[in-house]
Each structure stands twice: as C-alpha cells, then as structure tokens.
Amino acid sequence: MVQSSKRLLSDPWPTKLSDRLESDLKKMGANIIFGQRVASESLSQQSGIVTLADGRTLEADLIFPTAGTTPNSQLVAAQAPTALNARGYVKVDDYLRVCTRSLSWALCSSSPIDPL
C-alpha cells in the first residue's frame, strides 16, 4: 500500500483510528509505504510493477488506484454491486465495514465521510 501522507485516514479521522488501522493491516501482512506517490504502473496478466516517485519499484498482485475526488469503486462494483450507493460510494457501517461483506472494509475516497 502506497500512501502519500504520513498516516492512513487523514483528517477528519482521529489519529487513534489511523494508528489502529495501520497496526491491524501490518498484523495481516500489509506493507505500507508512507510519504510516497506512484509515478507509474505497468500491468501484466500475472502481476504489476509500480514505480514510486523516488524511483523504487514494487511488484504487486493487485493495483487499485484510490487517488482523486471521484470514488474509484469499480472493483467493489464488480464483486458486490449492491455495496454501492447512488453516488458510487461504498456503503459502510460505523467501523467502515462494507455493508454487504462482514470481512471487508472501505477506506479513503471510496467510502463516504459519514458512514451510511
């Protein structure tokens, strides 16, 4: 996971939530790189290569961009179309769990600031 800011879930989310999310993701084996942006990506049938702004390259099993002001929820739409609201955001509960998937969470621009 590449994150341009210094923490996950910037304002308005509390730092405590961000720290807990980071800890939980790392326990599940996630590698999080802070303070970097993706400069380019290259996809193949088997995997993808991501080049960071500092020149490092990473091999990825899945590349799913989530930057910008429009929700990027195509992956969720393909897997669980009823999980999206009318505006294209992923419907989540108070814990950011996807409403139709108890073991899936939605973060960043894909989920609304106010959970549904």
Checking if the pLDDT of 114 tops 50, the result is no
Asked whether residue 5 falls in the same domain as residue 20, the answer is yes
Residue at which a domain ends, from 63, 78, 102: 63
Instruction: Determine the average pLDDT of the residues in 56-72.
Output: 75
Residue 39's domain comprises 1-63
Asked whether residue 59 falls in the same domain as residue 83, the answer is no
| 86: Cα separation from own chain's centroid | 20
Asked whether residue 18 falls in the same domain as residue 58, the answer is yes
Q: How confident is the model at residue 106 (pLDDT cuts 50, 70, 90)?
A: low
Total tally of structural domains belonging to the chain: 2
Asked whether residue 48 falls in the same domain as residue 7, the answer is yes
Asked whether residue 72 falls in the same domain as residue 55, the answer is no
Alpha-carbon torsion, ordered 20, 107, 55, 46, to 10 deg: 110
The pTM assigned to this predicted structure is 0.58
Q: How far is CA 3 from CA 58, 99, 102, 108, in A?
A: 14, 25, 25, 10
Residue at which a domain ends, from 63, 90, 106: 63
Mean pLDDT of the chain: 78
